[in-house]
Amino acid sequence: MDKIYDVIIIGGGPAGLMTAFYCGTGGMKPMILEALDFLGGQSAALYPEKPVYDVPAILECTGQELSDSLTEQVMQIEPYVEFNQSVESIKQVDGVWTLTCKSGKVYQTKAIVVATGKGAFSPIKIGCPGEDDYHGKGLCYSVKHIADFKGQDILIVGGGDSAMDWTCTLKDVAKSVTLIHRRDGFKAHIGAVNQVKALSEAGEIQMLIPYEIKKIEGANKVEKVTIFNNQTNEETVKPIQSIIICAGFRPTADALKQWGLELNEKGFIKTHEICKTNLSGIFAVGDATEYPGKRHLIVMEFGEAASAAGAVSTHVYGKGKGGAEWWAGPKKKKTGNTEIDKDNNGQKQPVSAK
């Protein structure tokens, strides 16, 4: 543990990866610590097959494709990466931060960028009857493989972007898609809501508002669902094989609280100018943070990544040195090799980081 890194980025989702990239363009060699055994964060873990349409200059890609491209881009700056390292505690002595992981591994660094997203992605439950009993037996909170839903009657629950996205995406493979939402207002973008309304009017899906789940039935897995109009109490029974609950994911801010970071009432890290937190030498980016005007969108996180890298550079090297820069490109010819192997003391390590 004698090495002191210039910067350690906690979390290898889109925000952490782009922060690493911009640190690299400024001449730093960042370390990324990732709790999972793959990079990409939510886009790889929660929606690998969902289309993404709002990343600049990419007309359309899946969550997995986005993760793969980002990883390939970031590997060009040759960061250190360690997988299965969930950071549990941080402590500062004389300007050097010590990070301790669940595995027992300890790292030291001059600066930290917290890019932990929404933490352990624990889904928000809606509390309907049978929700726990049928979880994993036809009831889920995210879609991993679109093909799993082929030919099924699907019930999607929610009024946010995920509910709208999955409705549009799954209608092409499912036998039928019914979207229910318990109230008239939507959290989703108006464009996405209008798209779903248009599909409903065209008879391609069914959208029912204000509806909730009353009962889930089935021997070992979901077979039938009773939904009800929460204003008139009118009930409808539908044959359903899959229920996708899109009520969002709760950020697990407990660890962050122990780290001494100032959080807002929703559990997000309060960041000030240029991604600074209340603690000197700790910066934060991405879904873990909130400030006035913040949107939890990848495009916004990419911007934060550049700001954070500049701020880290100033913190570590002083004003006017390094930071997020226009980049002249990789020194070596691009190989397209983002292969990751496992022979670094049992840790995976990008080939290019060796």
Q: Which residues bind ligand FAD (CB under 6 A)?
A: 10-16, 33-36, 41-43, 46-47, 50, 52, 54, 86-87, 115-119, 162, 255, 286-288, 296-299, 301
Least distance to ligand FAD, CB of residue 117, Å: 2
Residue 179: which residues within 8 A CB-CB, separation 6 or more? 156, 157, 158, 163, 164, 167, 196, 200, 205, 206, 207, 208
Least distance to ligand FAD, CB of residue 264, Å: 16
272 or 334, CB closer to ligand FAD? 272
Least distance to ligand FAD, CB of residue 128, Å: 20
Q: Do the Cβ atoms of 263 and 278 come closer than 8 Å?
A: no
Give the distance from CA 251 to its chain's centroid: 10
Q: Do the Cβ atoms of 11 and 30 come closer than 8 Å?
A: no
Tokens for 103, please give them.
């595995």
Least distance to ligand FAD, CB of residue 305, Å: 9
Least distance to ligand FAD, CB of residue 91, Å: 15
DSSP 165-181: HHHHHHTTTSSEEEEE-
Phi, psi dihedral angles at 34 (to 5 degrees): -125, 130
DSSP 48-68: TTSEE--BTTBS-EEHHHHHH
> Beta partners for 58?
55
CA distance 145 to 352: 30
CA distance 142 to 172: 17
Least distance to ligand FAD, CB of residue 16, Å: 5
Roughly how many angstroms between the first and final C-alpha of the chain, as a whole number? 18
Tokens for 280, please give them.
């000197």
228 or 324, CB closer to ligand FAD? 324
285 or 316, CB closer to ligand FAD? 285
85 or 228, CB closer to ligand FAD? 85
SS3 16: helix
102 or 334, CB closer to ligand FAD? 102
Least distance to ligand FAD, CB of residue 299, Å: 6
Least distance to ligand FAD, CB of residue 3, Å: 18
* Kind of pairing between the strands at 282-284 and 106-114: parallel
Q: CA torsion sign, 161 to 162 to 168 to 169?
A: positive
